[in-house]
Structure 1
Amino acid sequence: MTAPDPRIKPVGEITTRHLFDMVVDLDEPLDIGGPAGRRVLFGSAGGTFHGPDLRGEVLPGGGDWAVFRPDGTMVLDVRLTLRTDDGALLHMTYGGRWTTPPELHADIADPARRHHVDPARYHFRTNPLIETGAERYAWLNTITCAGSGYLVEGGVAYKVARIL
């Protein structure tokens, strides 16, 4: 049995604080295909975000250049532009993974049923980073976030937390 590395230090548990909830309305997906899995563009048609310290709209034009791997996991590659209610622009990027068990695949594939599937039945997690030149929101340039995603009618929603 190998002893723990003596260089490991206690750094405390990871804690979070709610940053905002976000809904992204999606355009019709574009199935691009590809050699590493099926790449699909889920374009952003707009949306909203609301939290205790910032709120505003998701602008059209961003999206998720997702890859569906052969094992059934969707790998996210998202870029969005957010505009706060006071006019600041935020650039938000995140990767992540969405894994659904095989017994949910038919329901998730059905546009009329997908948003009724309980999010506790699938794994949908993200790691958002936000950048801005707006002085009021410069604190966003220094934080890391974690998000939980779920499907809603017409799009996708996230609960985003700041990692402390």
Structure 2
Amino acid sequence: MTVIDQLPAAMRTIRTRPLFVLSVEVSGLHLAGGPAGAERRVGDLPGGSFTGERLSGIVLPGGTDWQTMRGDDTILLDARILLRTDDDALIAMTYTGMRHAPPEIASRIALGQEVDPASYYFRITPTFATSGPRYEWLNRIVAVGIGHRLAAGPVYSVFEIL
């Protein structure tokens, strides 16, 4: 018997529920630089949209994505955006994550070419803060997202972990 077999059934797998699909526009990258293996760049996130069964709306202008370019060709993400739901609630969304790809795939992404999302790793862990009564449950969930980089910006499938 393995260790996992000894766990209660509820602890053997992770269940998720779709939260929304988020498309974020990126209008430019500012190259701040830094020490070798930890260069920084900052992306402006002027807008976007999100759509799901329980909440939908737009990404308000003013978001940023602070990226660290590691020496192993991994990009670390640290983004902050403001969501406005279709019924005018405001939700602050912060996410960290990482993207890495084989060099030939990374080159194509950097050129704005669409590549198969299964050919690279792109994951985020968002958190939320809101006072909107209809959405206050977001303050108490853990979420994960799977990303896909398009020319205009990333698209994330975001899931609540149950």
Moved more, 98-107 or 42-51: 98-107
Give the match for residue 59 of structure 2.
58
Structure 1 stretches of 4+ moved >6 Å: none
Contact 2:109/2:150, CA 8 A, preserved across alignment: no
Deviation at 1:136, TM superposition (A): 1.0
The two structures have a TM-score, normalised by structure 2, of: 0.91
Aligned partner letter, 2:146: S
Aligned partner letter, 2:28: E
Aligned equivalents of 2:7 and 2:152: distance in 1?
46
Deviation at 1:12, TM superposition (A): 3.6
SS of the aligned residue for 1:60 comes to: coil
Aligned equivalents of 2:146 and 2:73: distance in 1?
18
Q: Does 2:68 correspond to 1:71?
A: no
Over the matched positions of the two proteins, sequence identity in percent amounts to 44
Give the match for residue 31 of structure 1.
31
Give the gaps of 5 or more residues in structure 1. Answer: none
Aligned equivalents of 1:12 and 1:140: distance in 2?
25
Deviations 1:76-108 (A, max 9, x none): 101110000000000101111101112223212
Deviations 1:9-47 (A, max 9, x none): 532411101000010011111111112512111111100
Aligned equivalents of 2:56 and 2:120: distance in 1?
27
Q: Does 2:134 correspond to 1:136?
A: yes
The two structures have a TM-score, normalised by structure 1, of: 0.90
Aligned equivalents of 2:152 and 2:104: distance in 1?
22
Aligned partner letter, 2:25: D
Contact 2:21/2:51, CA 8 A, preserved across alignment: yes
Deviations 1:39-85 (A, max 9, x none): 11111110000000000000111121010101000001011100000
RMSD over equivalenced CA pairs, Å: 1.5
Aligned equivalents of 1:95 and 1:82: distance in 2?
16
Aligned partner letter, 2:106: H
